[in-house]
Structure 1
């Protein structure tokens, strides 16, 4: 569906939103880190390693401005996922257009040694915060502006609002993780057993 670079950007968007926005996760309240080392560590863990080296290169070092930039971007991207999941593509597009403008997102042809040229996305400056924000916004815009907009989802499990990108073949994913899928199946099984048991009385 997406090339490897866009997939990387969508994965980063999902990880940033899930790590840096409040809500619920797997049946429990989730409070995102607010600042300091906890926030820096959460941002660094959410960003993917990149490059063709083995192992891939870790993300570039982050200064406090990068961290705050990515935390703000994560909050904006949550609106995109929620709007797309509810079918409100106008709202998703408004938020994405704002992110694209504020980050100065632009395409550029890049090539790693021994690899073919690929379209990558950069920001108005080379800082990790702006660069990742621009790239994630561009990746989400490519999804929202195509017939793949329905692949941007919010978990349908009770007491979970973590986001995901549906890369399944048939596009029917409903949950952020197998843990939430298992929770829902187990709850449905218990409900059926309770109904069956009460029917015996």
Structure 2
């Protein structure tokens, strides 16, 4: 609907297409942010300890959203615990590779469970806004439905490879690859450099 086959970002002759693509991309990036914040136990070659209880999780999510320049809104510690469950379900979708069918089945179950449905939300004197959740959905169901639908759309147009997982050793961070040829392999430059250094040392030993 919003992503043409073989394309995630770029110019289009359809007015407003870049904004539509941006909506989907922002939900995929939110899914990656939550997965990295709440599920990862190893990052940049070092062990990390994700928050384990509601208030710690709420604070961690708020901090990550603030770093990313995204409004956090109001959510509770109980919401944060439920978001951790959602993040754990979405994490395997990134870097699924040949397990993409299994990832799709996982997403289908999540979409049903959280009541995902394309919807135009309106408010007095404000433009209609597209969402993938019911107007009366709570925060967790709304986020889960929006993120799950966006991930499903990326997979559905044959771009599952853009849902990446870092390939450097001892790093389980995930990302949304928006490069032109979907060639990104690492979460950031530090892991890329670590991987190159490790490969160089291996060649020297050989």
Question: SS of the counterpart of 2:101?
Answer: helix
Q: TM-score, normalized by length of structure 2?
A: 0.79
1:94 match: 105
Contact 1:69 1:130 in 2 (8 A): no
- Cα distance in 2, alignment partners of residues 10 and 80 from structure 1: 11
- Cα distance in 2, alignment partners of residues 49 and 106 from structure 1: 30
1:53 match: none
- Cα distance in 1, alignment partners of residues 36 and 63 from structure 2: 11
Structure 1, unmatched stretches of 5+, are 51-55
2:116 match: 105
- Structure 1 position 65 matched with structure 2 position 50: no
Structure-2 change in CA distance of 1:39 and 1:181 (3 Å):
same
- The list of structure 1 runs, each at least 4 consecutive aligned residues, that deviate by more than 6 angstroms after superposition, is 111-116
Q: TM-score, normalized by length of structure 1?
A: 0.81
1:120 match: 131
1:15 match: 33
1:175 match: 186
- Residue 64 of structure 1: CA displacement? 2.3
1:4 match: 22
Question: Mapping of 1:25-44 within 5 angstroms?
Answer: 25-44=43-62
Question: SS of the counterpart of 2:34?
Answer: helix
CA RMSD of aligned residues (A): 2.9
- Residue 91 of structure 1: CA displacement? 0.4
Structure-2 change in CA distance of 1:125 and 1:118 (3 Å):
closer
Higher Cα radius of gyration: 1
Contact 1:12 1:46 in 2 (8 A): no
- Residue 68 of structure 1: CA displacement? 1.4
**Cα deviation per residue 1:123-176 (whole Å; 9 max; x = unaligned)?**
574322221111111111111111111111111101111111111011111111
- Residue 39 of structure 1: CA displacement? 1.0
- Cα distance in 2, alignment partners of residues 16 and 27 from structure 1: 20
How many residues matched? 188
